[in-house]
Amino acid sequence: MLVNTPRKRFLFVIVAVLIIWQVMRFLPQFLFGPPEDLIIRHPGAPVMVMVYYEALCPDSKNFIVKQLQATYRRAPELMEVQFIPYGKASTHVQPDGSLRFECQHGPMECQANIYHACAIEAIEDARARIDVVACMIRDNQAAKEAMQKCTREYKVENSELIQKCYESPHGAELLKLHGDATNSLRPRMSFVPTITLDGSQGRQASILKDLFTEVCKVAAGRGPLPDVCKP
């Protein structure tokens, strides 16, 4: 029976249009992910510096030692630093629930990344945390020895706690969390290290070459130029 066929066709067209509209509405999010999660900071607050890196990556070492540590020593009040050791690794959940990682620079980097994750959690003092991470990344081929040497050098008394973390499932769980944070970056990580300032990935090349100047620009964009940034 062909009664009401035009009406049915009209309804079909309306439904099809609605479906296409919904698909087009959400397609950009599925293809490209959400935009950067910018961090809103009030004038005078430290700039949030998030360092997405790998423990055996030469470029990560160069940035942390020559830019991050030096800038923090020059102007600690200007920055709040968070480390995310993972980079271009991958996480695999085994049938028994345990975690296995594949890292860009091999198994030794996975071990070093876990030591970094445990040290970052265990060391509460911001200056000591940056100093120990910078010290460890200078030579992470023997990650355990690097951790022990660097905690001694900077008089950090958490080496046993860090070692227990590494040997327990908690160390792997921490690294998985760093992986989740890394994989949530939008746009996705294309270079290691990737640095965000108040959540923004803009001006990566400039950040890697002159972190102090770029942090000052972000701080000045929120209010008066901090005294430490003035010539």
Architecture of domain 47-220: 3-Layer(aba) Sandwich (3.40)
Mean pLDDT by 10 residues, the chain (231 residues): 46 45 38 48 87 98 98 97 98 95 97 98 98 96 96 96 98 98 97 98 97 97 92 87
- Residues with Cβ within 8 Å of 189's Cβ and at least 6 positions away in sequence, in order, are 52, 87, 88, 182
Is the C-alpha dihedral spanning 133, 138, 139, 145 positive or negative? negative
187 prior amide bond cis, ω within 30: yes
pLDDT score recorded for residue 38: 59
Share of the chain above pLDDT 90, in %: 77
CA atoms of 150 and 136, how far apart (whole Å): 6
Q: Domain ranges in the chain?
A: 47-220
Residue located via tokens 């099809």: 16
Ranges of beta strands (E only) in the chain are 47-53, 79-85, 90-93, 99-102, 194-197
pTM: 0.82
Contact 121, 165 (CB under 8 A): yes
pLDDT score recorded for residue 33: 38
pLDDT score recorded for residue 32: 34
pLDDT score recorded for residue 44: 78
pLDDT in tens, 181-215: 999 999 999 999 999 999 999 999 999 999 999 99
pLDDT in tens, 26-59: 333 333 333 445 566 677 799 999 999 999 999 9
CA atoms of 60 and 51, how far apart (whole Å): 9
pLDDT score recorded for residue 43: 73
